[in-house]
Amino acid sequence: MGESRYPNSVMDSDGRDGVSFPCPPTLDIDPATHCVAGARFLPSPNADDRPDSSDISLLVVHAISLPPGEFGGGDGQSYIDDLFLNQLDTAKHPYFATIRDLRVSAHACIFRDGSLTQYVSFDRRAWHAGESTFEERTRCNDFSIGVELEGCDTQPFTDAQYTTLSRLAAGLLRAYPKLGRENIVGHADIAPLRKTDPGPLFDWQRLRFELEFPR
C-alpha cells in the first residue's frame, strides 16, 4: 500500500500501515489507550462512552463485505473503513446509497490478508450489535467488544484471519478479566432474528483450538 490517506494512522517502522500479516505472536492491548499496540487506528465518530467502562465482558464476532460478497474494494482503501468513518461514497456502488444513513462502527476489522484496523478504543462503546440479547442482558453494545471479519456467508474465512482473530482474542482475554472464553459469540447468537453473521462457514472450533494452542 502506498501513502496513507489518513494522517492520523499509526505507521510502523517500515512506513506501512499498522498491524499487517503475519501479525506478532501476541497482540497486546495498550492499557493506557485500550488499543491494539501498533495497530492502524482510524477513529470512528460512531462511538460513545460505555455506561460502565469497567464492564467489558463479551466479544462479538461479525462479518462484513462491501459491496456484499466483494472484498478489498476502494482504491487501495477499504469501503469498510469508509463506512465506519461515515465517508462511504454513494456514487461508487448502488448498494451504498441504501446504507448512506447508517451510523455504525466496530472496535476493529480483520481483513482477508489478516491485517487489522482499529476504529474505537475498547473502553468506549462501538455501535455494532444493534438490538441484541446475551444471557438475558439487552443492549450488548454497552458491555461488548465488536470485531468484524471481512467476509460473508458464502465464502470461507482465510487462515490469516483466524490467526489474527485468535491472537486478538487472547490479548483481549488478558486485558479484560471479565471477558471469559465462554463469552465469545457471533452476532447471529445475540440477534438471531436479524443477523446471520459471521455465518455458517465461520469455524468456531478452529477459533477455540487456536486460542487453546496458539501458533
Give the catalytic positions in this structure. Answer: 148
- 150 belongs to the binding site for Zn ion (CB under 5 A): no
Shorter beta-carbon distance to Zn ion: residue 112 or 187: 187
Output the nine-digit C-alpha cell for 160: 490469516
Nearer to Zn ion, 38 or 127 (CB): 127
Q: Select 9 or 133, whichever has its Cβ closest to Zn ion.
A: 133
Q: Which of 34, 40, 50, 187 lies at the binding interface for Zn ion (CB under 5 A)? A: 187
Q: Does 197 bind Zn ion (CB under 5 A)?
A: yes
> What are the residues whose beta carbons fall under 8 Å from the beta carbon of 36, sequence distance 6 or more?
19, 27, 28, 29, 30, 108, 116, 118, 168, 171
Residues 3-42 as x/- pattern, contact with Zn ion by CB under 5 A: ----------------------------------------
In the region spanning residues 42 to 71, those forming contacts with Zn ion, defined by CB under 5 A, are 62
User: With contacts defined by CB under 5 A, how many residues of the chain interact with Zn ion?
Assistant: 3
107 binds Zn ion (CB under 5 A): no
Which residues of the chain form contacts with Zn ion (CB under 5 A)? 62, 187, 197
